[in-house]
Every structure is written in structure tokens, then in C-alpha cells.
């Protein structure tokens, strides 16, 4: 390459002018190349370089020359520079500024924010994570499916439903594919998964809730218990972490993240024991109450301190707590408990699931307890009257997973264009 003519395109990150010589830092998707212009070689090019605003897009043609000083190991001595798109000044957001902008400013100018290597690295890793998940599930015989996102009824409670106008009727944006993935269990497509947006009109702004998130949903039939479901959840995490470790080395480095191997099998903590553990840390919590953000965090601290476990299951959730999850199977030996589980990662729930109730009579009774109108769930219920095998599954929040994997302070960092109560653009 050295001594040859090359053409490189990219963004003008910075220009340093030292009188007779100037250095233009040209950034592309792979890194930064130094363009060195000498006044004595071409006054015209030298003046042109001095006039280009930062972040403009240029095409540089010139000789590639080995250089010990340049970061890439070479520099380009230009014979021609074309400005393809001149950036306005001032910039709405600095790309190489030492002082970081606040998240809102960054999200308002996401295209600019993404020019930072470490911000792009998050989304490369998210993509590699999804590749790892798809690869694992496909190898395990799962079929990827797509279910409707415009639906007639919600499955996760009315308070977080987004209503939309659907021709001359009202409809909703799907909170989860729950009813459809269960419906598919009556078909012979025994092991399915879907990776698609889920929509929730979350009432409060938190660092782990957004109004539109990528939900990985898995459902499998002919299971014996929730253990069969947990095995798949654990397999997904272990295998996708391995995949990221192997295929995202540069991106992990850019973010300064070292991905350790999780302790396996993931430890299991019964809900009742989890309550005791967070109480021992001083939190006031009654048996039967949701651990909540604070409880989950405290439990994460205890699991780390005592077991060095970043990933662990919380099992045996009480029926009282999961009552609104009308499709959860209660234990035959103790109906006050479900076989439901959460998978938590560093003190935050990322997965929730378990064995579903597949017996029509019991299911409809549980729906009545929740004051649900059976008529509006007829399409769902029908499948339970004509041969529904035992089955189970889970919902897995992709962004929460990436957030915890990379230690991101806010889930919004793991979404290109997040949606929340106050954000509808960009």
C-alpha cells in the first residue's frame, strides 16, 4: 500500500494547523487516518484543508506513506480533496469533546452521537448478541416466527396498553406476543421464538423501562416443568455471551468491558429466600410483595458478595404476586406458589417466564379471577379446547440484557432511537 495512490472517504474529525504543515484527522467506520498537507507542496490544498468545517464529509486522494507518528501507522499526502458534504457550524454535539454531553442532548442528535466509536460499539454488540441468540436457538431446533403487533386484546394488564385506530375499530399495540406464542403451541410448531418490538405505555420514567423494546420471546411445548424453560433461558445467555466475547473483541475494547464467564448452572434463589435476603440488608418488604427495583438491586449485591453470581434465577413466585399473570401455572402440590421464575442480571430482572396453564377449565377460572372477559380472548381460548400440550416460555428484554452486559447506566443507551413518555422524535 505504501507509495501507492489511495482514495479515502470519511468525516473530518479535526484539523490542526502548524503553519507550514496541517494534519487532518479523517474518520471512517474503521478508525482515523491522518491526512498531512504541506503548504510548500500545494498552497491551494493547504488553504482548502484549513477551511473545511469539522464533521464535513470529504474524499481524499493521495499517496499513502508509512508514519510512526500517525495512529493508523500511515498517513496520506493528498493530491486532491473533494468536499462531498460541508457541515454547518456550530455542531449540535461534539464528537471528540472531552466533556460528555447529557443523554438528552445526545439522543436529540443521535446520528451525531453515533459517530463516536464507543456509542457505535454498543449497537454492534447488540447485533452480535442477537446473532448469537438466533444461532443458539436455531441449533436447538427453534423456529423463528412473527406475530401481529396490532392486536385486539392485551395480555399484560390494561394500564400499559397503547390504543390505536384500526380502520373503524379500536385496537392496541402488542405488549407481548404472549397469546400468539401460546396459540402456536397447539400447532406442532413445538419450539418457537420471536424477536420483535413490544409496546408498553409505562407510567413512570425509569432507567430500565422504555415504551418500545425488543422482546425475545420463547415458547416450547411438551415440557415437564418450568425447569425445561429455565434451561433454554440459561442456554441463550451463556451462548450469546460466548458469541459476543468471541466476535466483538474490538467493540468490547472500545467500551472497556471485559466479559467474564458466568457461574453455571445459574444459582436459584426461591422468592421466599430472596425476601429474607433483602430484609437482611435493611429493606422493609412483606412476603408476597414485589421485590421492586430496590429489592432486586439488593439481592444482586448479596448474590455477588456471597456467590460471585451475576446471573441467577428467582424461583417459586407466590401465586398472589403473579395473579394478574393469568396464564401462569400454579403448582399442583401447592397452589399458593407458581413455577414462575425471573432471571436477574446484576440486580435487574431481564427475563420472566415459566410453565403456563394449559388446562382449559383452570385457565378460564384464573381469567375470571382477573375479571377478564372470556369472549374477548376467544381466539386464544379456543386453542385450549382442541388439544393443547403442556408448555411454557418466557419474555426476555434484549435491551435490558445489553444494558447489564455492558454496564450502561440507562436502558436508553442500548436503543438507537428510544421511545418513552417524553420522547417521540428522532
Where on the chain is the footprint of ligand ATP (CB under 6 A)?
A: 156, 200, 202, 209-210, 213, 215, 349-352, 395, 397, 399-400, 411
State the nearest-atom distance from the C-beta of 90 to ligand ATP, in Å. Answer: 34
Minimum CB distance to ligand ATP smaller for 83 or for 201? 201
Minimum CB distance to ligand ATP smaller for 116 or for 404? 404
Minimum CB distance to ligand ATP smaller for 388 or for 411? 411
Instruction: From 125, 163, 164, 99, select the one nearest 252 (Cα to Cα).
Output: 125
Contact 296, 349 (CB under 8 A): yes
Give the dihedral sign, CA 274/277/281/287: positive
Minimum CB distance to ligand ATP smaller for 78 or for 392? 392
**How big is the CA angle at 159 (ends 158 and 162), to the nearest 5 degrees?**
80
State the nearest-atom distance from the C-beta of 26 to ligand ATP, in Å. Answer: 38
What's the rounded Cα separation, in Å, for the pair 330 and 362? 10
State the nearest-atom distance from the C-beta of 151 to ligand ATP, in Å. Answer: 15
The single residue listed with the C-alpha cell 394449559 is 358
State the nearest-atom distance from the C-beta of 206 to ligand ATP, in Å. Answer: 8
Minimum CB distance to ligand ATP smaller for 79 or for 146? 146
Intra-chain end-to-end CA distance of the chain, in Å: 41
All three cell numbers of 187? 400447532
State the nearest-atom distance from the C-beta of 187 to ligand ATP, in Å. Answer: 23
State the nearest-atom distance from the C-beta of 423 to ligand ATP, in Å. Answer: 13
The single residue listed with the C-alpha cell 380472548 is 377
Minimum CB distance to ligand ATP smaller for 72 or for 201? 201
What's the rounded Cα separation, in Å, for the pair 14 and 119? 19
Minimum CB distance to ligand ATP smaller for 231 or for 349? 349
Rounded to the nearest angstrom, the gap between the alpha carbon of residue 177 and the centroid of all alpha carbons in its chain is 17
Residue nearest to ligand ATP (CB): 397
> Considering just the CA atoms, what is the radius of gyration of the chain in Å?
27
The CA–CA distances, whole Å, from 287 to 271, 321, 401 equal 9, 10, 27
269 beta partners: 314
Give the dihedral sign, CA 48/54/60/62: positive
State the nearest-atom distance from the C-beta of 395 to ligand ATP, in Å. Answer: 3
Minimum CB distance to ligand ATP smaller for 181 or for 209? 209
* CB contact set of 101 (below 8 Å; sequence gap of 6+): 93, 94
Minimum CB distance to ligand ATP smaller for 115 or for 400? 400
Instruction: From 38, 11, 39, 40, select the one nearest 25 (Cα to Cα).
Output: 11
All three cell numbers of 306? 456471597
What's the rounded Cα separation, in Å, for the pair 265 and 270? 15
Amino acid at each position: 500500500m505504501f507509495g501507492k495512490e489511495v482514495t479515502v472517504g470519511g468525516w473530518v474529525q479535526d484539523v490542526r494547523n502548524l503553519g507550514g504543515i496541517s494534519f487532518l484527522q479523517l474518520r471512517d467506520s474503521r478508525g482515523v487516518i491522518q491526512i498531512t498537507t504541506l503548504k510548500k507542496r500545494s498552497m491551494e490544498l493547504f488553504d482548502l484543508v484549513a477551511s473545511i468545517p469539522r464533521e464535513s464529509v470529504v474524499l481524499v486522494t493521495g499517496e499513502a506513506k508509512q508514519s510512526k507518528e500517525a495512529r493508523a501507522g500511515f498517513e496520506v499526502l493528498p493530491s486532491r480533496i473533494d468536499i462531498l458534504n460541508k457541515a454547518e457550524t456550530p455542531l449540535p454535539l461534539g464528537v471528540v469533546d472531552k466533556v460528555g454531553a447529557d443523554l438528552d442532548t445526545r439522543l436529540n442528535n443521535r446520528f451525531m452521537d453515533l459517530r463516536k466509536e464507543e456509542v457505535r460499539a454498543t449497537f454492534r454488540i447488540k447485533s452480535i448478541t442477537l446473532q448469537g441468540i438466533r444461532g443458539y436457538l436455531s441449533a436447538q431446533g427453534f423456529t423463528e416466527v412473527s406475530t401481529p403487533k396490532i392486536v385486539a386484546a392485551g395480555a399484560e394488564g390494561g394500564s400499559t396498553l397503547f390504543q390505536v385506530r384500526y380502520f373503524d375499530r379500536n385496537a392496541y399495540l402488542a405488549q407481548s406476543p404472549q397469546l400468539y406464542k401460546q396459540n402456536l403451541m397447539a400447532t406442532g410448531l413445538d419450539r418457537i421464538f420471536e424477536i420483535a418490538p413490544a409496546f408498553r405505555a409505562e407510567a413512570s420514567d425509569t432507567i430500565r423501562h422504555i415504551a418500545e423494546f425488543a422482546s425475545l420471546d420463547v415458547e416450547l411445548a411438551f415440557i415437564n416443568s418450568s425447569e425445561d424453560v429455565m434451561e433454554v433461558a440459561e442456554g441463550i445467555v451463556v451462548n450469546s455471551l460466548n458469541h459476543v466475547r468471541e466476535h466483538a473483541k474490538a467493540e468490547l475494547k472500545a467500551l472497556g468491558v471485559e466479559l467474564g464467564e458466568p457461574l453455571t448452572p445459574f444459582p436459584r434463589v426461591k422468592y421466599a429466600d430472596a425476601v429474607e435476603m433483602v430484609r437482611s440488608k435493611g429493606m422493609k418488604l412483606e412476603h408476597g410483595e414485589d421485590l421492586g427495583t430496590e429489592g432486586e438491586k439488593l439481592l444482586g449485591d448479596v448474590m455477588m458478595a456471597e456467590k460471585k453470581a451475576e446471573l441467577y434465577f428467582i424461583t417459586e413466585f407466590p401465586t398472589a404476586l403473579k395473579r394478574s399473570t393469568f396464564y401462569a401455572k400454579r403448582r399442583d402440590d401447592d397452589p399458593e406458589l407458581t413455577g414462575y421464575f425471573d432471571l436477574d442480571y446484576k440486580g435487574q430482572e431481564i427475563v420472566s417466564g415459566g410453565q403456563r396453564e394449559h388446562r382449559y377449565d383452570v385457565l378460564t377460572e384464573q381469567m375470571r379471577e382477573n375479571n377478564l372477559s372470556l369472549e374477548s380472548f376467544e381466539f386464544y381460548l379456543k386453542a385450549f379446547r382442541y388439544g393443547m400440550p403442556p408448555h411454557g416460555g418466557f419474555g426476555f428484554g434484549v435491551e435490558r440484557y445489553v444494558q447489564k452486559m455492558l454496564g450502561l447506566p440507562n436502558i436508553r443507551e442500548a436503543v438507537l432511537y428510544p421511545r418513552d413518555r417524553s420522547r417521540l422524535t428522532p
